[in-house]
């Protein structure tokens, strides 16, 4: 194959006369045709490879795009579904063979793993330690509120340039000046909303208990009822026997 110039000046790749016009019997001619066909074959194979690569790439891209669009927990969800299927199967088998499935499962669980699972389940994040004193309770509330507080960093940064040093970093003795602005309406509104949120949260802390019909009435008053309940809570377990004796009328 050689490049030659046409009469019009275009360069063309042309198969030279020698390669084409070969007689079948000369050995040189057969190698040339086979060489040609080999080359063509290779070219065809390369083209095929390129095509297949392109198709595979497209398929991969489509798959990746699909996976990206899936919800973030799709893997764990799939695992869970698989587990549930296997569990169901195992449960059915156990039932057919007459074994207690739950016991069987317990036998295959490791003791230290079980301990860890139990501890993790019990461990709530920041559980309420109960009432110690009002200061402690107030501090707990303060921590919760400041965790939820989102400081307005832009307003702060802008105030760094607009306000004087003594207003932003005051010492103990800095007195309020007449140039102190009253807080903006939105700031006051934010405070009001927050206070109202605190009040509504406080209401959630103790709920109204329902009235139980049929329970013995040993009170004359709502206040008396609460007192009796309190006494029962603290002394109930010690005076249970005594109470039974009194109800019966005779001591055992």
Partner 1 sequence: MSQAVAFGAKRGSDDKPGATRIPKAARVKNKTPAAMQITAEQILQEVTDRQLEKGAPPPKQPIRNEEELRDYKMRKRKTFEDNIRKNRGVMSNWIKYAEWEAGQKEIQRAESVFERALDEDHRNIGLWLKYAEMEMKNGQVNHARNLWNRGVTILPRADQFWFKFAYMEEMLGEVGKARQVFERWMEWEPQEQAWFSYIKMEMRYKEVERARKIYERFVQVHPVTKYWIKYAKFEEENGYLAAARNVYERGMEFFGDEHTDESFYMAFAKYEERQKEFERVRTIYKYAIDKLGKEKCTDLFKAYSQFEKRHGDRLAIDDVITSKRRLQYEEQLALNSKGL
With contacts defined by CB under 8 A, how many residues of the chain interact with partner 1?
Answer: 42
Considering the rule CB under 8 A, would residue 246 count as an interface residue with partner 1? no
Run of H or E including 47: helix 27-69
Looking at the Cβ atoms of 139 and 227, the one nearer to partner 1 is 139
Give the position of tokens 């007449």. 178
Round to whole Å and give the CA distance between 19 and 32: 6
Q: E strands, the chain, where?
A: 2-5, 11-14
Looking at the Cβ atoms of 88 and 139, the one nearer to partner 1 is 139
To the nearest whole angstrom, how small is the minimum distance from the Cβ of residue 224 to partner 1?
10
The alpha carbon of 204 is separated from its chain's Cα centroid by a whole number of angstroms, namely 27
Applying CB under 8 A, which part among 3-11, 50-58, 164-172, 235-243 lies near partner 1?
Answer: 164-172
To the nearest whole angstrom, how small is the minimum distance from the Cβ of residue 194 to partner 1?
6
Considering the rule CB under 8 A, would residue 168 count as an interface residue with partner 1? yes
Cα four-point dihedral sign 149, 155, 161, 164:
negative
Considering the rule CB under 8 A, would residue 169 count as an interface residue with partner 1? yes
Q: Please, which contacts does 196-204 make with residues 24 or more away whose CB atoms are closer than 8 Å?
A: 198/141, 198/145
What residues make contact with partner 1 under the rule CB under 8 A?
Answer: 134-135, 138-139, 142-143, 145-146, 149, 151-153, 155-156, 159, 163, 167-172, 174, 182-184, 187-192, 194-196, 198-199, 216-220
């Amino acid at each position: 194959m050689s490049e030659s110039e046409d009469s019009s000046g275009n360069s063309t790749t042309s198969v030279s006369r020698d390669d084409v016009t070969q007689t079948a019997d000369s050995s040189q001619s057969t190698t040339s045709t086979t060489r040609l066909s080999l080359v063509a074959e290779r070219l065809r194979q390369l083209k095929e490879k390129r095509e297949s690569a392109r198709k595979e790439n497209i398929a991969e891209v489509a798959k990746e795009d699909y996976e990206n669009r899936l919800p973030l927990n799709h893997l764990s969800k799939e695992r869970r579904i698989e587990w549930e299927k296997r569990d169901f199967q195992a449960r059915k088998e156990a039932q057919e063979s007459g074994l207690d499935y739950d016991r069987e499962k317990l036998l295959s669980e490791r003791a230290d793993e079980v301990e860890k699972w139990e501890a993790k389940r019990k461990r709530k994040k920041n559980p309420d330690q109960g009432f110690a004193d009002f200061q402690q309770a107030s501090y707990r509330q303060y921590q919760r509120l400041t965790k939820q507080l989102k400081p307005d960093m832009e307003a702060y940064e802008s105030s760094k340039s607009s306000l004087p040093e003594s207003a932003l970093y005051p010492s103990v003795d800095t007195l309020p000046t007449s140039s102190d602005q009253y807080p903006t309406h939105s700031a006051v509104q934010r405070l009001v909303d927050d206070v109202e949120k605190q009040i509504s949260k406080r209401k959630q802390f103790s709920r109204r208990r329902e009235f139980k019909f049929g329970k013995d009435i040993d009170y004359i008053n709502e206040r008396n009822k609460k007192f009796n309940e309190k006494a029962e809570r603290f002394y109930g377990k010690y005076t249970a026997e005594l109470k039974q004796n009194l109800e019966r009328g005779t001591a055992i």
